[in-house]
Amino acid sequence: MVELAPSILSADFAHLAEQIQAAERGGGTVIHVDVMDGHFVPNITIGPPVVASLRKATKLPLDCHLMIANPDEFIPALAEAGANWVSVHYEACRHLHRSLELIDQHGMKPAVVINPATRVNLLLDILPMVHHVLVMSVNPGFGGQKFIPFTLEKIRHLCAVRAELGLEYRVEVDGGIAQDTIAQVVEAGADLLVAGNAVFGDGHPEENARRLLQMARAAAGERLKPVAKQLNLGKNVRENARPIHRTTGKRKVC
Protein backbone atom coordinates (compact mmCIF):
# COMPACT_ATOMS: atom_id res chain seq x y z
CA MET A 1 0.00 0.00 0.00
CA VAL A 2 1.21 3.47 -0.86
CA GLU A 3 1.88 5.67 2.18
CA LEU A 4 2.53 9.37 2.59
CA ALA A 5 5.40 10.50 4.84
CA PRO A 6 5.06 14.26 5.47
CA SER A 7 8.48 15.86 5.91
CA ILE A 8 8.70 18.39 8.72
CA LEU A 9 11.55 20.19 6.92
CA SER A 10 8.91 22.44 5.35
CA ALA A 11 6.64 22.70 8.40
CA ASP A 12 6.12 25.73 10.63
CA PHE A 13 8.44 24.93 13.53
CA ALA A 14 6.60 27.34 15.80
CA HIS A 15 3.54 25.08 15.52
CA LEU A 16 5.19 21.75 14.78
CA ALA A 17 2.93 19.49 16.85
CA GLU A 18 -0.22 21.00 15.37
CA GLN A 19 1.10 20.73 11.83
CA ILE A 20 2.06 17.08 12.28
CA GLN A 21 -1.35 16.26 13.70
CA ALA A 22 -3.03 18.01 10.77
CA ALA A 23 -0.95 16.03 8.27
CA GLU A 24 -1.90 12.86 10.11
CA ARG A 25 -5.60 13.72 9.83
CA GLY A 26 -5.01 14.13 6.10
CA GLY A 27 -3.73 10.56 5.84
CA GLY A 28 -0.02 10.81 6.62
CA THR A 29 1.12 7.57 8.28
CA VAL A 30 4.86 8.25 8.78
CA ILE A 31 6.62 11.44 9.88
CA HIS A 32 9.81 12.10 7.94
CA VAL A 33 12.54 13.86 9.92
CA ASP A 34 15.52 15.30 8.03
CA VAL A 35 18.65 15.51 10.16
CA MET A 36 21.39 17.65 8.54
CA ASP A 37 24.80 18.60 9.93
CA GLY A 38 26.18 21.30 7.60
CA HIS A 39 29.00 18.97 6.53
CA PHE A 40 27.55 16.14 4.47
CA VAL A 41 24.96 18.62 3.15
CA PRO A 42 25.12 22.44 3.12
CA ASN A 43 22.41 22.96 5.72
CA ILE A 44 21.79 22.43 9.45
CA THR A 45 18.43 21.28 10.79
CA ILE A 46 17.60 19.30 13.94
CA GLY A 47 18.87 16.47 16.13
CA PRO A 48 17.80 13.99 18.82
CA PRO A 49 16.24 16.61 21.21
CA VAL A 50 13.67 17.60 18.58
CA VAL A 51 13.04 13.93 17.76
CA ALA A 52 12.28 13.38 21.46
CA SER A 53 9.79 16.26 21.36
CA LEU A 54 8.16 14.85 18.24
CA ARG A 55 7.79 11.51 19.97
CA LYS A 56 5.51 13.19 22.51
CA ALA A 57 3.41 14.79 19.76
CA THR A 58 2.59 11.73 17.62
CA LYS A 59 2.31 7.96 17.75
CA LEU A 60 3.22 7.63 14.08
CA PRO A 61 6.58 6.10 13.13
CA LEU A 62 9.39 8.67 13.08
CA ASP A 63 11.45 8.15 9.93
CA CYS A 64 14.82 9.82 10.58
CA HIS A 65 16.85 10.53 7.45
CA LEU A 66 20.46 11.17 8.47
CA MET A 67 22.19 13.54 6.07
CA ILE A 68 25.25 13.69 8.29
CA ALA A 69 28.92 12.84 7.98
CA ASN A 70 29.20 10.53 11.02
CA PRO A 71 25.81 8.80 11.40
CA ASP A 72 27.03 6.06 13.76
CA GLU A 73 27.69 8.64 16.48
CA PHE A 74 24.02 9.64 16.63
CA ILE A 75 22.26 6.29 16.33
CA PRO A 76 22.14 5.52 20.11
CA ALA A 77 20.77 9.00 20.88
CA LEU A 78 18.10 8.70 18.20
CA ALA A 79 17.01 5.35 19.61
CA GLU A 80 16.72 6.89 23.07
CA ALA A 81 14.76 9.82 21.61
CA GLY A 82 12.16 7.47 20.15
CA ALA A 83 13.04 7.19 16.45
CA ASN A 84 11.52 4.17 14.69
CA TRP A 85 13.24 4.12 11.30
CA VAL A 86 16.73 5.42 10.58
CA SER A 87 18.19 5.79 7.10
CA VAL A 88 21.85 6.46 6.36
CA HIS A 89 23.46 7.54 3.10
CA TYR A 90 25.53 5.09 1.10
CA GLU A 91 27.75 8.09 0.31
CA ALA A 92 28.33 8.99 3.98
CA CYS A 93 29.07 5.57 5.50
CA ARG A 94 32.60 4.18 5.47
CA HIS A 95 31.26 0.86 6.76
CA LEU A 96 27.65 0.70 5.59
CA HIS A 97 27.04 -2.88 6.74
CA ARG A 98 28.21 -1.96 10.25
CA SER A 99 26.02 1.15 10.35
CA LEU A 100 22.92 -0.80 9.33
CA GLU A 101 23.63 -3.45 11.95
CA LEU A 102 24.05 -0.73 14.58
CA ILE A 103 20.62 0.69 13.77
CA ASP A 104 19.08 -2.76 14.02
CA GLN A 105 20.86 -3.48 17.32
CA HIS A 106 19.25 -0.36 18.79
CA GLY A 107 15.78 -1.62 17.94
CA MET A 108 15.11 0.59 14.92
CA LYS A 109 14.37 -0.26 11.29
CA PRO A 110 17.52 0.26 9.16
CA ALA A 111 17.40 1.87 5.74
CA VAL A 112 19.85 3.09 3.13
CA VAL A 113 19.70 6.25 1.01
CA ILE A 114 21.20 6.91 -2.41
CA ASN A 115 21.80 10.30 -4.00
CA PRO A 116 20.70 10.92 -7.60
CA ALA A 117 24.18 10.09 -8.98
CA THR A 118 24.56 6.81 -7.04
CA ARG A 119 23.74 3.56 -8.84
CA VAL A 120 21.36 0.96 -7.41
CA ASN A 121 23.79 -1.92 -8.10
CA LEU A 122 26.11 -0.62 -5.37
CA LEU A 123 23.48 -1.70 -2.80
CA LEU A 124 23.02 -5.31 -3.84
CA ASP A 125 24.89 -6.90 -0.93
CA ILE A 126 23.03 -5.02 1.80
CA LEU A 127 19.49 -5.04 0.38
CA PRO A 128 18.49 -8.10 2.46
CA MET A 129 19.27 -6.07 5.61
CA VAL A 130 17.10 -3.01 5.05
CA HIS A 131 13.52 -2.06 5.82
CA HIS A 132 13.48 0.41 2.93
CA VAL A 133 15.65 2.10 0.35
CA LEU A 134 15.29 5.87 0.04
CA VAL A 135 15.86 7.24 -3.44
CA MET A 136 16.76 10.92 -3.42
CA SER A 137 15.02 12.53 -6.38
CA VAL A 138 16.81 15.83 -5.66
CA ASN A 139 20.27 16.51 -4.33
CA PRO A 140 19.98 16.45 -0.54
CA GLY A 141 20.19 19.50 1.67
CA PHE A 142 17.22 21.74 0.93
CA GLY A 143 13.47 21.50 0.54
CA GLY A 144 11.47 22.78 -2.40
CA GLN A 145 13.80 21.53 -5.15
CA LYS A 146 12.78 20.36 -8.62
CA PHE A 147 12.31 16.64 -9.20
CA ILE A 148 15.09 14.92 -11.18
CA PRO A 149 13.39 12.72 -13.82
CA PHE A 150 16.13 10.08 -14.27
CA THR A 151 15.62 8.92 -10.68
CA LEU A 152 12.45 7.18 -11.86
CA GLU A 153 14.67 4.51 -13.40
CA LYS A 154 16.27 3.90 -9.98
CA ILE A 155 12.83 3.27 -8.52
CA ARG A 156 12.01 0.79 -11.28
CA HIS A 157 15.36 -0.92 -10.84
CA LEU A 158 14.90 -1.33 -7.08
CA CYS A 159 11.42 -2.77 -7.57
CA ALA A 160 12.72 -5.19 -10.19
CA VAL A 161 15.56 -6.37 -7.94
CA ARG A 162 13.14 -6.80 -5.04
CA ALA A 163 10.85 -9.00 -7.10
CA GLU A 164 13.72 -10.95 -8.67
CA LEU A 165 15.31 -11.76 -5.30
CA GLY A 166 12.14 -12.22 -3.27
CA LEU A 167 13.02 -9.43 -0.83
CA GLU A 168 10.59 -7.25 1.12
CA TYR A 169 12.21 -3.83 1.43
CA ARG A 170 10.07 -0.84 0.58
CA VAL A 171 11.00 1.91 -1.87
CA GLU A 172 10.82 5.44 -0.52
CA VAL A 173 11.29 8.60 -2.61
CA ASP A 174 12.21 12.06 -1.34
CA GLY A 175 12.49 15.27 -3.32
CA GLY A 176 10.14 17.25 -5.52
CA ILE A 177 7.13 15.07 -4.66
CA ALA A 178 4.08 17.18 -5.52
CA GLN A 179 0.83 17.03 -7.49
CA ASP A 180 2.65 17.14 -10.82
CA THR A 181 5.13 14.33 -10.02
CA ILE A 182 3.42 12.00 -7.57
CA ALA A 183 1.66 9.83 -10.16
CA GLN A 184 4.80 9.02 -12.15
CA VAL A 185 6.70 8.19 -8.96
CA VAL A 186 4.00 5.77 -7.83
CA GLU A 187 3.67 4.24 -11.29
CA ALA A 188 7.43 3.58 -11.22
CA GLY A 189 6.87 1.49 -8.08
CA ALA A 190 7.49 3.71 -5.03
CA ASP A 191 5.31 2.98 -2.01
CA LEU A 192 6.65 5.45 0.59
CA LEU A 193 6.33 9.06 -0.55
CA VAL A 194 8.10 11.87 1.29
CA ALA A 195 6.51 15.27 0.73
CA GLY A 196 7.46 18.47 2.52
CA ASN A 197 6.64 21.66 0.69
CA ALA A 198 3.66 20.06 -1.06
CA VAL A 199 2.14 19.25 2.34
CA PHE A 200 3.19 22.13 4.59
CA GLY A 201 4.22 24.90 2.21
CA ASP A 202 0.96 26.85 2.01
CA GLY A 203 -0.18 26.30 5.59
CA HIS A 204 -2.89 23.70 4.82
CA PRO A 205 -1.25 20.35 5.64
CA GLU A 206 -4.43 18.37 6.22
CA GLU A 207 -6.01 19.24 2.88
CA ASN A 208 -2.73 18.90 0.98
CA ALA A 209 -1.88 15.53 2.51
CA ARG A 210 -5.33 14.20 1.70
CA ARG A 211 -5.14 15.37 -1.91
CA LEU A 212 -1.66 13.96 -2.48
CA LEU A 213 -2.58 10.62 -0.99
CA GLN A 214 -5.70 10.37 -3.14
CA MET A 215 -3.63 11.06 -6.25
CA ALA A 216 -0.98 8.52 -5.20
CA ARG A 217 -3.47 5.75 -4.56
CA ALA A 218 -5.27 6.42 -7.82
CA ALA A 219 -1.94 6.08 -9.61
CA ALA A 220 -1.14 2.89 -7.68
CA GLY A 221 -4.23 1.28 -9.17
CA GLU A 222 -2.74 1.80 -12.63
CA ARG A 223 0.78 0.61 -11.79
CA LEU A 224 2.29 -1.75 -14.34
CA LYS A 225 2.88 -5.28 -13.06
CA PRO A 226 5.08 -7.19 -12.72
CA VAL A 227 7.78 -4.55 -12.46
CA ALA A 228 10.53 -7.18 -12.46
CA LYS A 229 9.94 -7.96 -16.15
CA GLN A 230 10.66 -4.37 -17.14
CA LEU A 231 14.37 -4.88 -16.55
CA ASN A 232 16.50 -7.82 -17.66
CA LEU A 233 18.48 -8.39 -14.47
CA GLY A 234 20.02 -11.69 -15.44
CA LYS A 235 21.76 -14.41 -13.46
CA ASN A 236 24.74 -12.27 -12.44
CA VAL A 237 22.61 -9.81 -10.49
CA ARG A 238 20.74 -12.61 -8.76
CA GLU A 239 23.98 -14.29 -7.81
CA ASN A 240 25.66 -11.11 -6.56
CA ALA A 241 22.71 -10.11 -4.42
CA ARG A 242 22.34 -13.33 -2.47
CA PRO A 243 22.56 -12.66 1.27
CA ILE A 244 25.96 -13.19 2.86
CA HIS A 245 26.05 -15.48 5.86
CA ARG A 246 27.35 -13.39 8.80
CA THR A 247 29.44 -16.24 10.25
CA THR A 248 30.98 -17.95 7.25
CA GLY A 249 31.17 -14.94 4.96
CA LYS A 250 29.84 -17.09 2.08
CA ARG A 251 26.77 -16.38 0.02
CA LYS A 252 23.73 -18.44 0.85
CA VAL A 253 22.54 -20.84 -1.81
CA CYS A 254 18.91 -20.22 -2.70
CB-based burial label for 245 (10 Å; 0-12, 13-18, 19+)? exposed
Q: Are 50 and 34 in contact, with CB atoms under 8 Å apart? A: no
Neighbours of 69 (CB within 10 A): 14
Q: Are 140 and 178 in contact, with CB atoms under 8 Å apart? A: no
Residue type, 93: C
Q: Is 72 tagged catalytic?
A: no
From the candidates 104, 174, 180, 202, give the one annotated as an active-site residue.
174
Picking from 46, 32, 38, 43, the residue whose alpha carbon sits closest to that of residue 198 is: 32
Picking from 216, 165, 209, 211, the residue whose alpha carbon sits closest to that of residue 190 is: 216
Neighbours of 156 (CB within 10 A): 21
From the candidates 12, 34, 72, 104, give the one annotated as an active-site residue.
34
Q: Is 191 tagged catalytic?
A: no
The CA-based angle 81-83-84, given to 5 degrees, is 150
Residue type, 7: S
The CA-based angle 51-53-58, given to 5 degrees, is 90
3-state helix, strand, coil in the chain (%, to 5): 40, 20, 40
Q: Could you give the residue numbers annotated as active site?
A: 34, 174
